[in-house]
Amino acid sequence: MIAAMKKEIFLRKDELQNKNLHSLYFGGGTPSILSVDEINSIIDEVLKHFSFEKDIEITLEANPDDLDKSFVRELSKSHINRLSIGTQSFFEEDLKLMNRAHNASEAESSIKRAQDFGFENLSIDLIYGSPTSNLAIWKENLNKTIALEVPHISSYALTVEPKTALENWISKGKVANPKEEEQNEEFYYLSDFLKDNGFDHYEVSNFAKPGFYSRHNSAYWKYKEYLGIGPSAHSYNGHDVRSWNVANNQQYIKKLNSNILAKETEILSQKDQFNEMIMIGLRTIWGVDLESLNNKFSNKILDTFQNDIKSKVSEGILVIENNHLKIPEKHWFMADGIASDLFIV
């Protein structure tokens, strides 16, 4: 797999216009099962074809149970300077429901261990709205997070995916179905609590202390170009081309062994580009740059859009600030639904 990924980096090195990278992200799965030597070898391959900005952000997604003392010690000597830890919860019942490999003790100790070895730029994932939780437990999760001095939090409502153990348990009455009204309440408590503790709510699901915004994810939300390497990885040229790699590991390796890229490409129509800009932009504090829309899209699209936003602006569901269209934060829990109402179909 690593040899195939290195081959892909070489074959696609000219796809990025900017050869000076400001972020590198190991994610989309369980990259923490790699050894530090393997991680370093991938970074070394990247450095053969690209340069790093002086303050580049290099993130590794990690499961708490992978972050033992030996691994974290070696990581601290590598190029990795940011960890995104899949904590999910500090409560045993939540973790069992989510079928996580780590326990509540590891959820906490993995964070402390990373800090002990000098990792200040940490992000953790937290899940709210679980049927094994309630507002009181959610408050304890957040209090624990503040006590641990984690500077970045990504938080999501528990969703029930088809053909999962959770869906099966719910269908058999073993577990209650998550309630949207409770998730709504926990979302807004989360937002208010973290803001009171010095965090910026800069994207619907993301919160950061000043100076700790995820540079990599912010690039996605600002429509910057990016190159994705490995099975299932997605790429974007910053304009009108998206591509994605085959998900199957063996197919991916087989094609790269034959110097064939294992990817499919899509040319985005004006309609697709518009809908993406609306969906992504309205999830952030930056909103949608109306000047960019006017420069990029046809009058036919813009006229429809202007008609669609009038009533929502008058109702206060949307606002225009400094020529940027935004959703007021009190409506962020419904951001995707509000954005989809503005899509061009």
Predicted local confidence at residue 279, as pLDDT:
95
**pLDDT-derived band at 43, boundaries 50, 70, 90:** very high
Return mean pLDDT, the chain: 93
Higher pLDDT residue, 55 or 162?
Answer: 55
- Domain boundaries, given as residue ranges, for the chain: 18-221, 226-267, 279-341
Predicted local confidence at residue 165, as pLDDT:
74
Q: Find, among 179, 208, 181, the residue nearest to 195 by Cα.
A: 208
- For the domain with range 18-221, which CATH number is right: 3.90.1150.10, 3.30.750.200, 3.40.50.620, 3.40.920.10? 3.30.750.200
Q: Which two tokens stand for residue 67?
A: 């972050």
> In this structure, is the dihedral angle defined by the CA atoms of residues 64, 154, 39 and 75, taken in order, positive or negative?
negative
pLDDT tens-digit profile of 220-272? Answer: 999 999 999 999 999 999 999 999 999 999 999 999 999 999 999 999 999 99
Predicted local confidence at residue 253, as pLDDT:
97
pLDDT at residue 103 is higher than 90: no
Predicted local confidence at residue 237, as pLDDT:
94
Beta bridge partners of 207: 153, 201
The alpha-helical segments, DSSP class H, found in 12-160 are 36-49, 69-76, 92-97, 104-116, 135-147
pLDDT tens-digit profile of 133-179? Answer: 899 999 999 999 999 999 999 999 988 778 777 677 777 777 777 78
Predicted local confidence at residue 29, as pLDDT:
72
pLDDT tens-digit profile of 181-195? Answer: 899 999 999 999 999
